Amino acid sequence: YGRLRGVCRGGSSRKECAMTLLGRFDVEGEATGVALALQQPLSFWGGVDAESGRIIDPSQLALGVCLAQKILVMPSGRGSSSSSSVLAETIRRGTGPRAIVMASPDPIITAGSMVARSLYGIVCPVVVLYKAEDLPADGDCVSITVAPDGAALLTVDPLRE
């Protein structure tokens, strides 16, 4: 897992380079959107309002930000097993993220996405990159596709929408 290639425009810093990253799917699927990058793990149980999709955990810097249609990026999930049911409900309502990208696998996040796929037929891919330094930054444009070998292929472009 890691970086496959980078294309830089006018510089070589991380902020100027489009990257292709290779990860592992915990829940396979494709998605494109703008990254909402959290610095700390998020618990959907008590941390997200399923009706609005807004982050309600006061310990989060992104308090009040809506997850809907975003690629949620975070180090890992956090906490209660009930988070899986809240995640599935946000996906069902259309208030949840388009996909979730993490540095560490989280069985509760994976379960929530799998339940949404099974019960509602809605796919929210879950990708693990394993390297925190490879996680997309807030506002990056992210496209997640399935590589021929089944791996998760992420194209991350720091150019903002």
What is the C-alpha to C-alpha distance for residues 102 and 36, in angstroms, rounded to an integer?
12
Helix (H) or strand (E) holding 141: strand 141-146
Active site residues: 80
Residue from 143, 141, 145 nearest 158 by CA: 141
Q: Is 1:26 a contact under the CB 8 Å cutoff? A: no
Contacts of 146 (CB under 8 A, 6+ apart): 25, 28, 29, 30, 152, 153
Q: What tokens does 75 get?
A: 């180090």
DSSP for residue 107 = H
